[in-house]
Structure 1
Amino acid sequence: MSGPRPTVPLVVESPLREPDGMGGFRLTWQEVGRIWAEMRSGAGAERLAEVGAQSVVTWRITVRAAPAGDPRRPRPEQRLRLGEGAHARRFRIEAVAESDAGGRWLVCVAKEEAPA
């Protein structure tokens, strides 16, 4: 049996809260690592958004496991980015679990974020 085929380059991003100059904060994203992944789309759904219906797709993203504490080891508060600039796609990580008994692979359950 063969394992996952990580052929998609992704960037791991962590959220940062930065002062907005008016006493509050704004959320920005900082690159913390680059990884290769296998991506498989899952179930889709429709949700009601401010401007009407919005499609939401869940993704199973499999990556090589990095040691605990390594910044390239994805965590639920992070996101994964595919591509650069205005056309980049972003996937919010909701859960991470080991996918094999040896702990060599991680599966990230993520939802694709709507473009900002």
Structure 2
Amino acid sequence: MKSPLLNRLLTLEAPTRAEDGAGGATLGWTPLGAHWAELRSTSAREGVAGGVEASAVTHRATLRWAPFDAPSRPTAQQRFREGRRVFDILGVTEADPRNAHLHVWLREGAPL
């Protein structure tokens, strides 16, 4: 495997739930840390979501490997942010047999 060019700084975020005191809750996101990554687009789709035209682009991010129990290892319940761009994490796999990198499968845009 060719060494990836880790030139994109992505912030890993986890969902947080804050009770509003009236029986409801607000969903927010808490930054967990940052990862340097290589980001490659893998596919794009256009369609209708909720009666509105929408698009979704899938990406594969390659980043340094982290152990399964490490808080720095991304999970499918989290997301990455790069400025105003938000990437939902769909899955995480080892990128190579030496455990040097991870592949993180991402979706940017509305689920279609």
Tell me, yes or no, if the aligned pair for 1:20 and 1:26 is still in contact at 8 Å. yes
How far residue 104 of structure 1 moved from its aligned partner, in angstroms, is 1.2
Distance in structure 1 (CA, Å) of the matches to 2:104 and 2:55: 20
TM-score after normalising by structure 1: 0.87
Counterpart of 1:10, as a letter, is: L
- Displacement of 1:94 in angstroms is 0.5
Structure 1 residues not aligned, in runs of 5+: none
Aligned counterparts, 1:44-59, within 5 A: 44-59=44-59
CA contact (8 A) 2:55 2:109 kept: no
Tell me the residue number matched to 1:11. Answer: 11
- Please tell me whether the aligned partners of residues 80 and 93 of structure 1 are also in contact (alpha carbons under 8 angstroms): yes
Q: Structure 1 vs Structure 2: percent identity of aligned residues?
A: 40
Cα 1:36–1:72, aligned 2, differ >3 Å: closer, same or farther? same
Aligned partner of 1:70 in structure 2 is 70
Uncovered stretches (5+) of structure 2, i.e. residues with no partner: none
RMSD (Å), alpha carbons: 1.4
- Could you list the structure 1 runs, at least 4 aligned residues long, displaced by more than 6 angstroms after superposition: none
Higher relative CO (Cα under 8 Å, sequence separation at least 6) belongs to 2
